Amino acid sequence: MALHDKQDRFKRQQEKSQSSLSGKAASTAPNGRSSATPAPVKFSNDTERLQHINSIRKAPVGAQMKRVIDLLFETRQALTLEQINEACYVDMKANKDVFDSMRKNPKVKYDGERFSYKSKHDVRDKSQLLYLIRKFPEGIAVIDLKDAYSTVMEDLQALKASREIWLLSNFDSQEDIAYPNDPKVPIKVDDDLKQLFRGIELPRDMLDIEKDLQKNGMKPATNTAKRRSAAQMQGISSKSKPKKKKNEITKRTKLTNAHLPELFQNLNNS
């Protein structure tokens, strides 16, 4: 009985296939070509986005890493591989080179599941920023603080305005240095001492100033010799160019405006 059922099922499948073939033959023209008009190929409305994603994933490893690091820097969140792929189209699951390079990058932290941005100093607000600067009485470079959090530069200016820190420029590197202004150490200077200090005549050459500082056990904030050497290497002379001698009119000068004698009242007799 089971065999009979299988045979009946097979016959029905055969009949179905035969009818399908007959239908296709009827729709075929005598020349062998189908008379039915082929359906137009429809491209996805998302083609441009897919091309953009494809170009990102074919980009060099360094370019893809930059996209991920920029994303982590802007969001300041710990993101999974799926979240990163969804946000900036870098598929680190499929690209092992990008994944391995990101794990080794000093600006990135990876906890085994999520990637996050790692700034040089782990501070998140103005109070933590001030606490950090007070740990560096010799000063801390502002460039090392810029990536701490999004509003760190505004907080630095606010701390400077409230006289809690000083922002001074380094003459060698032209970069700002943040120094703590400890409110626990108020200093009052007598007017006589101020007048004496202001009356001291300093050397005119910075080299002499730096030598005097070194003699007294202090490290100069500038390095004039190094700066001048670098300027000479670049072809920049510290000496002013000699002025060209002004051309004077003499009796040997060919005059083209002799009809205007007032122009030659100061004629040189040489």
pLDDT tens-digit map of 223-240: 888 888 888 887 655 445
Q: Which residue has the higher pLDDT, 73 or 3?
A: 73
Amino acid at 130: L
pLDDT of residue 131: 95
pLDDT at site 254: 55
pTM attached to this predicted model:
0.49
Average pLDDT over residues 232-259: 58
Residue 270 has pLDDT above 50, yes or no: no
| 90-117 average pLDDT score | 95
User: Is a pLDDT exceeding 60 seen at residue 185?
Assistant: yes
Region 214-226: mean pLDDT is: 85
Name the amino acid, one letter, at 262.
E
Name the least confident of 71-75, 141-145, 251-255. 251-255
Name the helix (H) or strand (E) containing 96. Answer: helix 96-104
Is the pLDDT score of 269 beyond 70? Answer: no
Among 36-45, 148-157, 190-199, name the most confident range: 148-157
Instruction: Give the mean pLDDT of the chain.
Output: 79
pLDDT, position 143: 92
Please check whether residue 72 is in contact with residue 81, taking contact to mean a CB–CB distance below 8 angstroms: no
Can you read off the two tokens belonging to residue 163?
């006289």
pLDDT band at 204 (very low <50, low <70, confident <90, very high): confident
Termini Cα distance of the chain: 140
Check: CB of residue 198 under 8 Å from CB of residue 205. Answer: no
pLDDT score at 158 = 96
The lowest-confidence range among 56-70, 85-99, 224-238 is 224-238
Distance CA 222, CA 202 (A): 16
User: Stretch 99-123: mean pLDDT, rounded?
Assistant: 94
pLDDT of residue 180: 93
- Residue 38: count other Cβ atoms within 10 Å of its Cβ: 6
Query: pLDDT tens-digit profile of 144-167?
Result: 999 999 899 999 999 999 999 999
Instruction: To the nearest 10°, report the CA torsion of 49, 54, 59, 63.
Output: 40
Closest CA to 230 of 175, 174, 176, 172: 172
Q: How far apart are CA 258 and CA 261, in angstroms?
A: 6
